[in-house]
Amino acid sequence: MRKFKTESKKLLDLMINSIYTNKEIFLRELISNASDAVDKLNFMSLTDDNMHVDQKDLAIRVSFDKDARTITVSDNGIGMTAEELERNLGTIAHSGSEEFKAENADSQGDAIDIIGQFGVGFYSAFMVAKRVRVVSRAYGSDEANVWESDGLEGYTIEPGERADHGTDVILTLRDDEPGHDGEPGENYSHYLSEWALKDLIRRYSNYVRYPIQMMVTKSRQKPKPEDAGDDYKPEYEDYEELETINSMTPIWKKRQSDVEQSDYNEFYKSTFHDFEDPARTISFHAEGALEYDALLFIPARAPFDLYSKDYEKGLALYSSNVMIMEKCADLLPDYYNFVRGVVDSADVSLNISRETLQHDRQLHAIARRVEKRITSELESMRDDDREAYEKFFENFGRGLKYGIYASYGAKASGLADLLLFWSAKEQKMVTLREYVEAMPEGQKAIYYAAGDDRDRLAKMPVVTGVLGRGFDVLLCTQDVDEFTFQAMREYVARDCPKVYEDDAAREAAEKAVADGAEPETEDRHLELKNVATGDLDLASEDEKKEAEETTKEHGDLFDAMKEALGDHVEKVAVSARLGEGDTPACITTEGPLSLEMEKVLKRGPEGEVEGMPKAVRVLELNGKSPVFAKLVAAQEAGDADKVKLYAGLLYDQALLVEGLLPEDPVAFAKNVCELM
């Protein structure tokens, strides 16, 4: 027996038990090696006129023997001599494929697609096999040789027999291991089935460029006997047929003009197990320093577990048509986690197991390009097919908003224009850009209201007050909305028509345009303001002055109401926002935390924890309401009990308008009955 070279036993043990985390990839590695062997022969036949190889005959064969517990991977490729068996299989981490690529670097092209590069994939067979036998005959040689090893101490190389050039790798599987101490055992017999091997081939090696063939069992109806009576029942028989398991040519490497959308749809549904066609398909090829193909799909509906902690994002990553990772999370940002698809590149730096990637600039470069293409496709859908985009946004808009919030606003420049909100004025979904374009002259902020019900929001006094002044209000009903706006802080509307400070400047600009100049544009920085906060500054100077005078005149009343309400409110004052309406009071907030944000935080896992932040509440009274006159009369009459009763009722009814329950519903009901 020949010993493995280098510290082979330790290296082999490390590789079998540590490098690979998933035993089932052994078949992928062996098929990749077989593909390399066939590729080498094909390449040499293209460069050597004395070699005559029929490309139609090049193939890989997989078979199994249940009784002997063997799996065989055969190819009719270049084969190996005894010396090459010694060099390639006797020296761990020596890659014959990598050596071949280096020797033929100047003449390679599309005709060759060597996959191997580390020289360790072959040894993954020992994860499932207790013995591996390799029978190989080099092209042009009359002799075959047999390499055999149990993967422990060493190997043997002996003369053998093989009818033609190529290699057979025969794995004798390990015995099944029962589980113990609650841990599952190992079922190696699972691989000794037609279904299991076909599944592994299609999952990991479906796009290897050469046919991967298996003898498969099929059923057919027997011919009806001539003497069969009317009561004859059809009989069936099983038979075996050689079948090509893999599809070979990946759809993502075909020209987009050569593929029907129905083909993309079928690939998407069968690969990603969806019953609906995708909403959008994105196919592109990148060339240059980094070459890769990408085929991406935007689903028509959200998967049921999209927002659960168990959901895994990522694109399928292939290298030279061999699947490396089923879901490479690094290729997608979290806010595009719904996108499905494939990226195939021979240029990404794989680690030794080919199961994971080195984190390098190549991977990040692909991810950036993928993100840009997704964004561009969504912008196109938004502008060209609004109905489809609104349906998309209904399914996936929450993730886009969360992307802005989670990045503390850093992603706002790329995502803000993809967001949609309900316009109280237009009665439809609008983008922030569309909101800005419809703003009246002089408006300096974007106004929004946050709550859990659109109809209730539209009727709130703080909303109707802003609408009454001619400004639109965005009605936000998702819990992430206000957090998103606070992370953004402002919206930058790019290339807006320039707003001039005076008539002379505007007239001069209009004249310049009439003379052929391009209209001037500017970027407008617009603050995002919640209409329920106290700093809207929409009132006229006269309204502000009147409110201040009324507050000062009835300071004793407001002090008494503040004392009655205690810590529930920061202060009580006359409102400049309620105008002539019949709303007697409303609650606003001061500081960054609104009532809606307080509600969202309370619904969270730490909502009942002591010390959770609360909104700083202000009770604003309508100085022109008949109710205010009643309050003034009670205060002037010295009826402290009535002032206290009215203060509590006004505060509780303002809470109800905000969608909040009174803090003491029993007391509220009692006070209403007392008034009745």
Write the pLDDT tens digit of every residue in 467-503. 988 999 999 999 899 999 999 989 998 888 887 777 7
Domain final position from 341, 366, 383: 383
Q: Which structural domain range is residue 258 located in? A: 251-383
State the CATH number of the domain containing residue 432. Answer: 3.40.50.11260
Q: Which of 337, 247, 349 is nearest to 296 (CA)?
A: 337
Average pLDDT over every residue of 302-309: 85
340 and 469 both lie in a single domain: no
Cβ atoms of 191 and 164 within 8 Å: the answer is no
Phi-psi region at 475: left, alpha or beta (left = phi > 0; alpha = psi -120 to 50):
beta
Check residue 605 and give its pLDDT: 63
Does the residue 225 lie in any domain? no
Does the residue 403 lie in any domain? no
* Beta strand pairing call for 616-621 and 585-590: antiparallel
150 and 27 both lie in a single domain: yes
Indicate whether 5 pLDDT > 60.
Answer: no
Q: What is the pLDDT of residues 359-406, one digit of tens each?
A: 567 888 899 999 999 999 999 999 999 999 999 999 999 999 999 999
543 three-class SS:
helix
What angle, rounded to 10 degrees, do the helices at 640-657 and 665-675 form?
A: 120
Total structural domains within the chain = 4
Does the residue 395 lie in any domain? no
Q: What is the pLDDT of residues 412-459, one digit of tens each?
A: 999 999 999 999 999 999 999 999 999 988 888 999 999 888 998 998
Residue 495: how many other CB atoms lie within 10 Å:
9
Indicate whether 2 pLDDT > 80.
Answer: no
State the CATH number of the domain containing residue 321. Answer: 3.30.230.80
Does the residue 238 lie in any domain? no
| Residue 319 DSSP label | E
77 and 203 both lie in a single domain: yes
Where is 473: in which H helix or E strand? strand 473-476
Average pLDDT over every residue of 106-127: 59
Domain final position from 497, 530, 563: 530
Residue 287: partners with Cβ closer than 8 Å, 6 or more residues away: none
Does the residue 402 lie in any domain? no
Check residue 523 and give its pLDDT: 86
Indicate whether 613 pLDDT > 90.
Answer: no
Indicate whether 27 pLDDT > 90.
Answer: yes
156 and 298 both lie in a single domain: no
What angle, rounded to 10 degrees, do the helices at 96-103 and 26-47 form?
A: 30
422 and 278 both lie in a single domain: no
510 and 550 both lie in a single domain: no
pTM over 0.85? The answer is no
DSSP 60-86: EEEEEETTTTEEEEEE-SS---HHHHH
Distance from chain centroid for Cα 586: 42
Report how many helices (DSSP H) and strands (DSSP E) the chain contains, helices first.
20, 23
State the CATH number of the domain containing residue 599. Answer: 1.20.120.790
CA dihedral defined by 198, 200, 202, 206, rounded to 10 degrees? Answer: -120
Does the residue 399 lie in any domain? no
200 and 261 both lie in a single domain: no
154 and 297 both lie in a single domain: no
d(CA 118, CA 563): 78
Name the E strands within 222-311: 236-244, 280-286, 292-298
456 and 577 both lie in a single domain: no
3-state secondary structure 96-163: HHHHHHHHCHHHCCCCCCCCCCCCCHHHHHHHCEEEEEEEEECCCCCCEEEEEECCCCEEEEEEECCC
Q: What is the pLDDT of residues 136-158, one digit of tens each?
A: 999 999 999 999 998 877 889 99
Cβ atoms of 298 and 353 within 8 Å: the answer is no
Q: What is the pLDDT of residues 324-354, one digit of tens each?
A: 888 889 899 999 999 999 999 887 766 534 4
156 and 26 both lie in a single domain: yes
450 and 596 both lie in a single domain: no
17 and 126 both lie in a single domain: yes
d(CA 643, CA 638): 9
